[in-house]
Each structure stands twice: as structure tokens, then as C-alpha cells.
Amino acid sequence: MSQKITSRLATMAARTFTKQHMRTAGRTLVPLFVALALSPVAAHAQGSVDLTGVTTAMSSVETAAKLGGAIAVVIGIIFGVFQFMGRNIAGGFLAIGGGLFAGIVIGFAPQWVSSLTGQTVSMIVTHAVKVMA
């Protein structure tokens, strides 16, 4: 009985591992192994990343998010009023809801940007005080 199992395993292995499969596997895996072999050399050779302009760039993103959110609020409210005037109450509420959602985006944009830049909460509070003053 053990010879039947062995012969069945050998037959299955012979069908599975053909020369074409081995060539395909070699063409796929050889570049991967070369890249893995060279990656420690490349990782050792790289320098540090300069992040001095990230805060400036992210403050520009923050300003753009606030501006886009403010425009969305205004547009949502205007379209909501037009929907109400046209007696489409459901459409009016949807437009006002879209405007309020844009307001939420405006409110949380500084926190999202600060989480991307790694600024502390005290910097966010200082920024909020400057904006509100």
C-alpha cells in the first residue's frame, strides 16, 4: 500500500513540476531574489529625508481645504434655498445636509492636517485662537 501512495505522489509531483512551470517560476523569482540581495546595500547607502518644507506645504493644504469647504457650504445652502423655493423639500434638506457636511470638513481640516504633519495639539489650539481672534 505504501508503494501505491508513493507512486501516486510521484505521479502528481511529475505532473505539477513540469519544465515549463519551473522556467516560469525562475523568470518570476530570479528578479525578486536579485532585488532582495541588493536591497541591504541600497538601504545602507540612502541618506535621510529632508522634511523642512512639509509644514509649509501642509499649511497650504489646510488653507485649500478650508477654502473648498467654505465654498461647498455656500453652494449647498444656496442650492438648498432654491430647492425649498421650488417646493422640493427633500432636495432642500439634502442640499443643506451637504453644506453642513462641508462645514464639518472645514472644522476638522486643521486636525487632519496636523495629524499628517505631526504637529502637537497645542499648536492646533494656538492656530485656532489666531483664526478666531
User: Containing domain of residue 80, as a range?
Assistant: 2-39+60-132
pLDDT digits (tens, 9 = 90+) for 39-80: 776 666 556 666 666 667 777 777 777 787 788 888 888 989
Q: Is 50 domain-assigned?
A: no
Q: Is 75 domain-assigned?
A: yes
Q: Is 125 domain-assigned?
A: yes
Q: Is 33 domain-assigned?
A: yes
Kindly tell me the burial class for residue 9, based on how many C-beta atoms sit within 10 Å of its own C-beta (0-12, 13-18, 19 or more). exposed
pLDDT for position 124: 58
Nine-digit cell at 47?
541618506
Cβ count within 10 A of residue 80:
21
pTM for this model (two decimals): 0.44
Q: Is 28 domain-assigned?
A: yes
pLDDT digits (tens, 9 = 90+) for 100-124: 888 787 777 767 766 666 655 555 5
End-to-end CA distance of the chain: 89
34, 52, 108 from 83: Cα distances, Å: 63, 48, 28
Q: Is 55 domain-assigned?
A: no
Q: How many domains does the chain have?
A: 1
Q: Is 84 domain-assigned?
A: yes
Sign of the dihedral through C-alpha 105, 106, 107, 113:
positive
Q: Is 21 domain-assigned?
A: yes
